[in-house]
Amino acid sequence: MDEIINNPLLWVICAITVAIIAFQAVAYFRLTSKQAKAVGVSKEMCRKSFRVGIMTSIGPALGIVVVMVGLMAVLGHPLTWMRLSMIVSAANELAAAQIGAEATGTVLGGADFTPEALMVSWFGMWLNGVGSLVAVVLFAKHLRKTQDKITSKNPRILAIVSGAAMCAIYGNLSAGSLISGGDFVGAWITGGVATFVFYKIAQKHEKLKEYSLGLAMVCGTIAGAVIHAFM
């Protein structure tokens, strides 16, 4: 099995995909920098936004790394590297791989996990991501028109819908973790308390605002790891 999941050809194919993703990131960064000048956004504001993005990515990245180690042992290093670079959702990728394995009557990473089951797991991971990519291609260009129609009738509708969507997303993510109990609950509570504390501190120290969310995520991650170690 190791010869399949870590095949040199697979490394080459996955590396090409990751290189394309990196190119898109750089191209998007350069495009936004040009557009920032066009709309009058200062370089200082761009740098501040960049720092905020980096800080807020630390917490989720740590969680992805933990799951990535487990996925590498079962699905191989190159494919795991590529998928998490593309989808950036370790939980979804793990669930998709498990569903694929179960479809063949096996357990992901189990003794009866055959190459055929591996292919189905890989196919399940592909299906997990292709829907959102197709939706972006087909509907992204129409979102601005929809937004303009909504705001022309009542600007509050868009704010309410956006707020409700964010609450639903984060509520769903939290609920899925909280039912596991123990370390997940500890991480969730610690992250929430840390967010509130850093928010209060940031009211007096303006520079802390851009780092508060990222620091809160790190605090929650560390708390969850410590609780898990003693369970």
User: What are 86-137's pLDDT values in tens digits?
Assistant: 776 777 787 888 888 888 888 887 778 888 888 888 888 888 778 777 887 7
The C-alpha atoms of residue 214 and residue 210 are separated, in whole angstroms, by 8
Provide DSSP, 103-164.
Answer: HTT--TTSTT--HHHHHHHHHHHHHHHHHHHHHHHHHHHHHHHHHHHHHHH-HHHHHHHHHH
User: What are 183-228's pLDDT values in tens digits?
Assistant: 888 888 888 898 888 888 888 877 676 677 777 878 888 888 888 8
pTM score of the predicted model: 0.61
